[in-house]
Amino acid sequence: MIKNLHISQIDTHFANGTYPIEFFFFYPHKIETSTIRKALETASKIFWPAFGTYEQGIIHKQKFIEEKFIAEKTINEPFNQNQTENQIYNTHKSSNPEAIERLFFISVFQYPNGTALIPKLSHLAGDGYSYFYFLMVLSALASSRSTLKKWTIYYAYKPLSTRNVLRSFRFQQQFENIIQPSDNLDLVYMQLPKKQVKQHIKNCLAKHQITISTNDVICSYILKKFNDLSLFSESIELTMPVDIRNHIKEYGPKYFGNALLFSRNSYNINDIKNMSVEKLAAEIRKSAPEINKVNYIDYLKSIEAQIEKGEYSGLRPFDPDKGCLVTNLSKLPTNKLNFGTGRPEIVSTITKGKNSVAVLSDKDNFILRMMY
């Protein structure tokens, strides 16, 4: 029997297929594709929204058909592990189909010296947290040899797929999928030492008696970088997706979907130019939303009101003509993505989006991946 899942208010931002989540993972030891195929079939039973289809506000459960979710290619030349992030992106940005029939797809590249995986998840199916939660379970299923352990994983990590947790919601609009052009965009990587960020936090507390966060400092640097690029004339709108799972118990860590609040605030370009990094970070901190159940329900209601007025053009995470979107992915659980041969040695995002920034990290630095 086919199950139906009505999408949430937040999901409507991605009903046109924009902003799919896509990463490149290289494993120096070969992963047998057969283990991934078997794990996909098992995972499809509990993460079925990712394996379904979408139409007019509803995700439909569909029969698992393996070839709709995975493609494998053998490469005779060894993978060059010294490639830059830009080289990886340019080589693999089109490895997956632009438009995928279901809401998830994974490409597997078998090299003589390892395996590369490129999983792609429609943002309609879930946010970045959901993406990595799903991959964590998929890798655990693939690396498990005993049936008992697989069933233990199955039940222990079974996600909460109910979308309308706090408010009943029905959406019936059907949008055409939009493919975001990326060939005319520049991709720049900027390193920000973690020690430097910590020092800014200490200085701000000592000088201004204001407690700021790591993310506030990072966003301050990002605003200054975009200001230097002279892309905006009067102000820059900073949009940050805030995960609300830890703030509202009805969602929790097993929620599979878009548990997000998009925090949007505009900053005058002269203020951005003239303020110190710490002062600007303090302004960003002052603008941070207070997240609780009551406020989040009001936020959902505001989206509903927008829909009722027919203002569908505003149903998007942010407006790239007004500012930038900053997604902090610096705490990715990549150490848990073990498909049986160890953790990935190279992790690189190939998600596309004009004026978008992904914040990654290594041992000593935050890596700001800026596309504009």
Q: Domain map of the chain by residue range? A: 4-180, 187-328
Distance between CA 194 and CA 221 in Å, rounded?
A: 13
- 4-180 and 187-328 share one fold: yes
**DSSP H or E run through 227:** helix 214-228
What is the number of H-type helices and E-type strands within the chain?
A: 9, 14
CATH architecture of structural domain 187-328:
2-Layer Sandwich (3.30)
pLDDT at 184: 84
Is residue 191 within 8 Å of 366, Cβ to Cβ?
yes
Is residue 85 within 8 Å of 351, Cβ to Cβ?
no
Evaluate whether the domain defined by 4-180 bears CATH number 3.30.559.10: yes
Distance between CA 118 and CA 357 in Å, rounded?
A: 20
| Cα Rg of the chain, angstroms | 21
Distance between CA 346 and CA 334 in Å, rounded?
A: 10
Residue with tokens 């800026």: 370
Query: Dihedrals φ, ψ of 196, to 5°?
Result: -65, -40
Q: Which SS3 state, helix, strand or coil, does residue 138 take?
A: helix
Q: Which residues of 204-227 are buried (b: 16+ CB within 10 A; e: fewer)?
A: beeeeebebebbbbbbbbbbbbbb
Alpha-helical runs (H) found in 93-210:
128-143, 147-156, 194-208
Tokens describing residue 213? 């966060």
pLDDT at 22: 97
Enumerate residues 6+ apart whose C-beta is below 8 A from 95. Answer: 107, 109, 118
pLDDT at 208: 85
Distance between CA 121 and CA 118 in Å, rounded?
A: 10
Q: What is the pTM of this model?
A: 0.95
- Per residue of the chain (372 residues), what is the pLDDT tens digit? 458 999 999 999 999 999 999 999 999 999 999 999 999 999 999 999 999 999 999 999 999 999 999 999 999 999 999 999 999 999 999 999 988 999 999 999 999 999 999 999 999 999 999 999 999 999 999 999 888 888 899 899 999 988 989 999 999 888 877 766 667 899 999 999 999 999 999 999 998 899 999 999 999 999 999 999 999 999 999 999 999 999 999 999 999 999 999 999 999 999 999 999 999 999 999 999 999 999 999 999 999 999 999 999 889 999 999 999 999 999 888 999 999 999 999 999 999 899 999 999 999 999 999 999
Distance between CA 92 and CA 108 in Å, rounded?
A: 11
Answer positive or negative: Cα dihedral of 59, 352, 329, 81. Answer: positive
The DSSP call for residue 255 is B
Is residue 317 within 8 Å of 241, Cβ to Cβ?
yes
Residue with tokens 């189909």: 97
